[in-house]
Amino acid sequence: MAVEGKLEPTVKEDPAAVIAFARDQGIKFVDFRFSDLLGQWQHFSVPTSELTERLFAEGVGFDGSSIRGFQQIHESDMLLFPDPRTAFVDPVLEVPTLSLICDIGDPVTKGRYSRDPRYIARKAEAHLRESGIADTSYWGPEMEFYIFNSLRFGQTVNEGFYHIDSSEGIWNSGQNGTPNLGFRPRLKEGYFPTPPVDQLQDVRSRIALALQESGIEVEVHHHEVGTAGQAEVDMRYDSMVSMADKVLVFKYIVKNVCRREGLVANFMPKPLFGDNGSGMHTHQSLWKEGVPLFYDKDGYALLSDLARWYIGGLLAHAPAVLAFAAPTTNSYRRLVPGYEAPIKLAYSARNRSACVRIPTYSDRPQLRRLEFRSPDATANPYLAFSAMLMAGLDGIRHQIEPPTPVEADLYELEGARADAVKNLPGSLEEVLAALEQDQKFLFEGGVFTEDLVDTWIALKREREVDPVRLRPHPYEFMLYSDC
């Protein structure tokens, strides 16, 4: 795109400046984006001439009855309010387009829409400030995903299948439809040899460049453990709502850059049997008046009491939190023993088999944080981050002590030591049941509402749990077709 100007932070604070930028830079369309309840971006576009200061103030209408988890048909009219601070020039579209992330409003009440996921995260940030515990939370999700050459799937009354292919997949080592150039990472050996074994270096670099063009700071990218193109690209940490916005920008850019390359990006937690799944390990910390609150030079792993209680709350409420943070049936194909899966309700310095790990790369106070390793990228980041924060704050308020940290490999424990460490639930059905029983902590400060939680549970059961449960599984034919 022939757009050379840069949207500076000072420009983004002023709708008039955003409008002037769009017109000065020859932007042809403005794209309004918002998240449905499950975390999928939705959008529509208007000519740049339609972008006015009045639109920022009064909103633009859309049909809420067509969006998953939103309104009924008799209450369909809704409003989008563009947030000028989110403006970025889309780096993957050919026609110069300015994208704006929007908040959702109700034209009848004139208030913010209670099921808008971004509104939940806004309320969570406000609740943190009002609590007096901290004024800022920082979030740094590690985004893992696969890059395939082909992904086919289908489901009918008499057939169900999926077929994945990748030029980098170890299963293609014996193929010779075209000259076989070899050099493929074996199962669990993709972390992280150089090219030519890593065939996707340039693709990840182009993803990183597109992210930077959109205003997202990239810290690192590399091949992940899995064969067949497992990748990780890490963004610089940010505050909650801003980082949740960036997660959706990230997924959008990754998918579109890969498509432009003739590839398909896949964020499912467990697309391949027998190799590592893709998580969204989420680093988080609390700050007050510029001071990091999770650091104590005398604490275990340099953690403060406040950080330890935060971990206690996160672990105590983890089954309910995972209803938002690992919210699909496929999430629990990943959360199984082995494959570096964090299924143990424990915390530890360095230990990647625990749900909560304390990174120990540096002893600087501002880098003291925790990493909750069980979430994945099927989550709606606004809801997942908010649920984690509310669990942590509940731990601080009630001074919930986590289990004693475990330094050993949690998968190798035996006897009483093994019995003392609980596992995460093993299915979406179980975490939804946990959320039904444990949700009071989410309602503190009016952050989550009963209506949103009830709608989430119903939608997940009707759309995912029951349809998967009712269909024959391909492997059942391997087991039972000759019975």
Amino acid identity for residue 424 in this structure:
L
Sign of torsion, CA 252 321 391 219? negative
**Mean pLDDT score, 369-391:** 97
Under the banding of pLDDT at 50, 70 and 90, the label for residue 36 is: very high
Q: What is the pLDDT of residue 1?
A: 53
**Mean pLDDT score, 268-284:** 95
User: pLDDT digits over 42-59, tens only?
Assistant: 999 999 999 999 999 999
Separation CA 121–CA 445 (nearest Å): 12
Phi and psi dihedrals of 285, rounded to 5? -155, 160
Indicate whether 105 pLDDT > 80: yes
**Mean pLDDT score, 391-397:** 98
**Mean pLDDT score, 426-452:** 97
> Residue by residue, what is the 3-state secondary structure of 79-106?
EEEECHHHCEECCCCCCCEEEEEEEEEC
Decide if 250 contacts 216 (C-beta within 8 A): yes
Q: What is the pLDDT of residue 68?
A: 83
Indicate whether 107 pLDDT > 90: no
Contacts of 231 (CB under 8 A, 6+ apart): 144, 145, 146, 147, 200, 204, 221, 222, 223, 224
The CA-atom distances, in angstroms, between 419 and each of 290, 322, 412, 413 are 41, 22, 12, 9
Asked if omega into 192 is within 30° of 0 (cis), the reply is yes
Separation CA 139–CA 128 (nearest Å): 14
As a whole-number percent, the residues of the chain with pLDDT over 70 amount to 93
Decide if 106 contacts 99 (C-beta within 8 A): no
Indicate whether 137 pLDDT > 80: yes
Q: What is the pLDDT of residue 184?
A: 87
Which of 285, 349, 352 is CA-nearest to residue 314? 285
Tokens of 373: 């390793």
- The residues annotated with a catalytic role in the active site are 63, 142, 144, 224, 232, 281, 352, 371, 373
Separation CA 358–CA 347 (nearest Å): 8
Separation CA 70–CA 75 (nearest Å): 10
Which of 206, 429, 222, 224 is CA-nearest to residue 326? 429
Under the banding of pLDDT at 50, 70 and 90, the label for residue 63 is: confident
Indicate whether 276 pLDDT > 70: yes
Q: Is 76 left (phi over 0), alpha (psi -120 to 50) or beta?
A: alpha
Under the banding of pLDDT at 50, 70 and 90, the label for residue 258 is: very high
Q: Is 213 left (phi over 0), alpha (psi -120 to 50) or beta?
A: alpha
Under the banding of pLDDT at 50, 70 and 90, the label for residue 325 is: very high
Separation CA 274–CA 288 (nearest Å): 44
User: Quick one: CA torsion of 457, 460, 463, 467, rounded to 10 degrees?
Assistant: -110
> Residue by residue, what is the 3-state secondary structure of the chain?
CCCCCCCCHHHHCCHHHHHHHHHHCCCCEEEEEEECCCCCEEEEEEEHHHCCHHHHHHCEEEEHHHCCCCCCHHHCEEEEEECHHHCEECCCCCCCEEEEEEEEECCCCCCECCCCHHHHHHHHHHHHHHHCCCCEEEEEEEEEEEEECEEEEEECCCCEEEEEECCCCHHHHHCCCCCCCCCCCCCCCCCCCCCCCCCCHHHHHHHHHHHHHCCCCEEEEEECCCCCCEEEEEECCEEHHHHHHHHHHHHHHHHHHHHHCCCEEECCCCCCCCCCCCCCCEEEEEEECCEECCECCCCHHHECHHHHHHHHHHHHCHHHHHHHHCCCCCHHHHCCCCCCCCCEEEEEECCCCEEEEECCCCCCHHHCCEEECCCCCCCCHHHHHHHHHHHHHHHHHCCCCCCCCCCCCHHHCCHHHHHCCCECCCCHHHHHHHHHHCCHHHHHHHCCCHHHHHHHHHHHHHHHHHHHHHCCCHHHHHHHCCC
Under the banding of pLDDT at 50, 70 and 90, the label for residue 388 is: very high
Asked if omega into 96 is within 30° of 0 (cis), the reply is no
For the domain made up of 136-480, give the CATH fold. Answer: Creatine Kinase; Chain A, domain 2 (3.30.590)
Q: What is the pLDDT of residue 414?
A: 66
Q: What is the pLDDT of residue 48?
A: 95
Q: What is the pLDDT of residue 5?
A: 59
Separation CA 157–CA 429 (nearest Å): 24
User: Quick one: CA torsion of 305, 306, 309, 314, rounded to 10 degrees?
Assistant: -140
User: pLDDT digits over 418-431, tens only?
Assistant: 667 788 999 999 99
Indicate whether 76 pLDDT > 60: yes
Q: What is the pLDDT of residue 349?
A: 86
Start-end ranges of CATH 3.30.590.10 in the chain?
136-480
Q: What is the pLDDT of residue 139?
A: 98
Q: What is the pLDDT of residue 3?
A: 59
**Mean pLDDT score, 308-337:** 95
Decide if 138 contacts 226 (C-beta within 8 A): no
Tokens of 269: 């937690």
Q: What is the pLDDT of residue 340?
A: 67
For the question of whether the overall pTM of this predicted structure is more than 0.75, the answer is: yes
Contacts of 400 (CB under 8 A, 6+ apart): 309, 312, 313, 316, 394
Under the banding of pLDDT at 50, 70 and 90, the label for residue 24 is: very high
**Mean pLDDT score, 366-387:** 96
Q: Is the pLDDT higher at 341 or at 318?
A: 318
Q: What is the pLDDT of residue 69?
A: 79
Under the banding of pLDDT at 50, 70 and 90, the label for residue 75 is: low
Indicate whether 332 pLDDT > 90: yes
Q: For domain 9-113, is the CATH number 3.10.20.70?
A: yes
Q: What is the pLDDT of residue 416?
A: 67
Start-end ranges of CATH 3.10.20.70 in the chain?
9-113
Indicate whether 323 pLDDT > 90: yes
